[in-house]
Structure 1
Amino acid sequence: MSPQQKALILPKKQGNFEVGSRGIPSPGPGQLLVKIQSAALNPVDYKIQDSGMLVTHYPAVLGSDIAGVVEELGEGVKNFRRGDRILAHGNFVNDLAAFQQYTLTIAIFTAKIPSSVSFDDAATVPLGLDTALVGLYGKENGAGITPPWTKSAGDHESKKPIVILGGSSSVGSYTIQLARLSGFYPIITTASPSNEDLVRDFGATHFFDRNLSGQQLKAAISKATGSPIKIVYDAISLPETQSVGWELLAKNGTLVLTQSASVKEDEGKGRKVIQTFGSPHNPQNKELCRSSWSMVEKWLSEGDIQPNYHEVLPNGLEGIIGGLERMKMGQVSGTKLVAHPQETQ
């Protein structure tokens, strides 16, 4: 194997991406070296380029969603072997990032890909699923619901309503699926009318047009359920969707956001706002995500978690640049963009 590889590099803060070369890292204890076959794009990638958030060292390699083949095992890795097809959640550190041909992954945040699932499908899972999961089940970064895979879960969420704003987004679609696993009912979501079938396929029981006003949505939801809405997961988290979510929320309810809050918590009604952060590498999320990642292969194999629909970009790592631009312009809906680093010219 060549000691050099191709990578999509952000040379400086708020700079322009360019394809370059960097060394292939060696796995340390508890790590895997992975040859990346598919890497998915996320909005956080263009936001880092635009704002410089989350990254402190340049030149930087970005990307969180990894699917590929195990090349080497670090010390103490027991559950994997060379040649395994895997998916993993990368980190905002060059040696653990997705937009390159080889990367390191942390074994406890890595899972085998079932034979029925492609690399492209698998690459759509990690960040979206972890963000949905931490937002629902995280004690510090989420609503603190008991996870459905734990023995103490029972069915205590059964027949409780949940509202998911932006159900056709990656995070929204995984939130719908986890809500189904947790026993919520009804599972109410908003999306574009063109994505109604998509969100119903993922498990939404009630669909409403995302263009309804807060009052219109509240009236429609009150016909769907007489129970108070104690959890709203806003997978979009723009100021306008946050205000809609806040309006729907019952006393002592929780609004889960993927971006900074523009609504204010109100002491009188006890409603809470939580901005989730779905990285398993965050110390607060480590134990939750360690237990959930042990379930990922089973969930995918049994169809409990369905990957996002995806579109493959041309030209390997080079194609990511145009893909991020399309996402920033709002030209991607209900679909995850995926690149093939090994096809880089």
Structure 2
Amino acid sequence: MIPTEQKALILQAKFGTFALSSTVSVAKPKAGEVLIKVHAAALNPIDWKIRKYGLFIEEFPTILGSDVAGEVVELGEGVSESQVKVGDRVIFQSSYHGSQYAGFQEYAVGEVDTLAKIPSNITYEEASTVPGCFTTAYIALYNVHPHGFDFDAPVTEGAKGKYNGIPMIVLGGSSSVGQSVIQMAKLSGFSPIITTASLKHAEYLKSLGATHVLDRNKGLTKDQVASITEVPIKAVFDAISVTETQTAGFELLASGGQLVTTLQPIPTLNDKASEEEKWVAWVHGAKKLPSNAELMKGTGSLLTALLENGDVKPNRVEVLSGGLNGIVDGLTRLENDTVSCVKLVVRPQDTA
């Protein structure tokens, strides 16, 4: 039986504090939506940034959590069992357009056209690490400029492996998005795939598809790249996107190449781009944005298949104890940059 009230972690005000509530109403799914019992929700840097910098959200109190995995428990009007049925295990990315869609609560609403079913070989905890980073990687690689590189998505046999012999550089390969970009770049055939990371993660990143892992603390130079490939560098993805990495990534590009960032490009790059015949794009990793919506249609079933056959692997998981009570400390760890090559996940149903 579905309760009328639930536990949820509330952000009480803009720039405010978090508080656990046990009297938050369970939302009813509207037309085209389903209600999901949340079994796992992943923490992301955007969660602490929303609180600290007042980003995106103007209505408070609110609930955060954009990566959600759970079990469908109720169908809204117009949702057919050919799309999804009660009992299905699903994941989705919340876009912060209402607390009912957020993951830091026991029950959340998902829009049926944003769902992907979880294959049997993937746990809820593993699955919760996937939606946001896969969406961002997919948009970065396959959306048109200025939203991405505009490569052909590997949705047909002809497109898989299409870019064999073309190098790709991924700055910040051990980040969640970096891992997803590496995996999708491998599926598209890019080679070599050169990434920067802490060298303790080298073997793991190579298992995902990276061919070369270079020490992030030493930077990446043109000479290093030239020792790996003589092919001009036309694609650099910057998963970190601080001033230093954006500048370094831009300098590695050959004429006609493109840098895609996850944060706003620094102003000087736009001026230099036109002078040097290079391109800079800023990926916005939200499935429902008008600029991304057409590209992302049908990617739910694609993601399910990629997870099932192992072409896309979830992030490694660290489950935080205490259910929703573990989130605040987890976000502090993310803010302090003490989490590396692992995704922090909570189980809302474990909340005392």
Give the structure-1-normalised TM-score.
0.97
For 1:2, the equivalent position in structure 2 comes to 3
Answer yes or no: is the 8 Å Cα contact 2:117–2:301 preserved in 1: no
Counterpart check, 1:221 vs 2:189:
no
For 2:79, the equivalent position in structure 1 comes to 77
CA–CA distance in structure 2, aligned partners of residues 42 and 327 of structure 1: 8
CA–CA distance in structure 2, aligned partners of residues 113 and 294 of structure 1: 10
- Aligned partner of 2:318 among 295, 311, 314: 311
- Aligned partner of 1:32 among 25, 31, 34: 34
The CA deviation at 1:159 is 1.2
For 2:56, the equivalent position in structure 1 comes to 54
Counterpart check, 1:110 vs 2:115:
yes
Answer yes or no: is the 8 Å Cα contact 1:146–1:152 preserved in 2: no
Counterpart check, 1:100 vs 2:105:
yes
CA–CA distance in structure 1, aligned partners of residues 307 and 111 of structure 2: 20
CA–CA distance in structure 2, aligned partners of residues 156 and 200 of structure 1: 20
Deviations 1:116-156 (A, max 9, x none): 11000000000011111111111242111111114773654
Q: Pairwise mapping of residues 296-335 of structure 1 onto structure 2 (< 5 A)?
A: 296-335=303-342
For 2:134, the equivalent position in structure 1 comes to 129
* 3-state DSSP of counterpart to 1:141: coil
Aligned residue pairs: how many?
343
Answer yes or no: is the 8 Å Cα contact 2:161–2:187 preserved in 1: no
* 3-state DSSP of counterpart to 1:277: coil
Deviations 1:245-288 (A, max 9, x none): 01111111111111111241221222111111111021211121
For 2:210, the equivalent position in structure 1 comes to 204
CA–CA distance in structure 1, aligned partners of residues 182 and 152 of structure 2: 16
Deviations 1:219-239 (A, max 9, x none): 111111111111100001111
- Aligned partner of 2:44 among 42, 45, 57: 42
Deviations 1:22-44 (A, max 9, x none): 21111112111000000000001
* 3-state DSSP of counterpart to 1:197: helix
Q: Which amino acid is 1:298 matched to?
A: A
Answer yes or no: is the 8 Å Cα contact 2:4–2:25 preserved in 1: yes
- Aligned partner of 1:241 among 241, 245, 257: 245
Answer yes or no: is the 8 Å Cα contact 2:129–2:343 preserved in 1: yes
For 1:181, the equivalent position in structure 2 comes to 187
Answer yes or no: is the 8 Å Cα contact 2:153–2:159 preserved in 1: yes
Deviates more, 1:331-340 or 1:89-98: 89-98
- Aligned partner of 1:146 among 142, 152, 161: 152
CA–CA distance in structure 2, aligned partners of residues 245 and 30 of structure 1: 42
For 1:15, the equivalent position in structure 2 comes to 16
Q: CA RMSD in A?
A: 1.3
Counterpart check, 1:256 vs 2:260:
yes
The CA deviation at 1:331 is 0.7
Deviates more, 1:260-269 or 1:19-28: 260-269
CA–CA distance in structure 1, aligned partners of residues 332 and 349 of structure 2: 21
Unaligned ranges ≥5, structure 2: none
Unaligned ranges ≥5, structure 1: none
Answer yes or no: is the 8 Å Cα contact 2:38–2:69 preserved in 1: yes
Distance 1:56 1:150, change over 3 A: farther
Deviates more, 1:135-144 or 1:36-45: 135-144
CA–CA distance in structure 2, aligned partners of residues 207 and 100 of structure 1: 38
Answer yes or no: is the 8 Å Cα contact 1:246–1:255 preserved in 2: yes
Identity of aligned residues (%): 41
Deviates more, 1:332-341 or 1:248-257: 248-257
Deviates more, 1:302-311 or 1:133-142: 133-142
CA–CA distance in structure 1, aligned partners of residues 52 and 341 of structure 2: 23
Answer yes or no: is the 8 Å Cα contact 1:232–1:255 preserved in 2: yes
The CA deviation at 1:57 is 0.9
* 3-state DSSP of counterpart to 1:299: helix
* 3-state DSSP of counterpart to 2:250: helix
CA–CA distance in structure 1, aligned partners of residues 283 and 297 of structure 2: 17
CA–CA distance in structure 2, aligned partners of residues 85 and 110 of structure 1: 10
The CA deviation at 1:99 is 0.8
Structure 1 residue runs of 4 or more that deviate by more than 6 Å after TM superposition:
none
For 1:87, the equivalent position in structure 2 comes to 91
CA–CA distance in structure 2, aligned partners of residues 87 and 51 of structure 1: 27
Q: Which amino acid is 1:40 matched to?
A: A
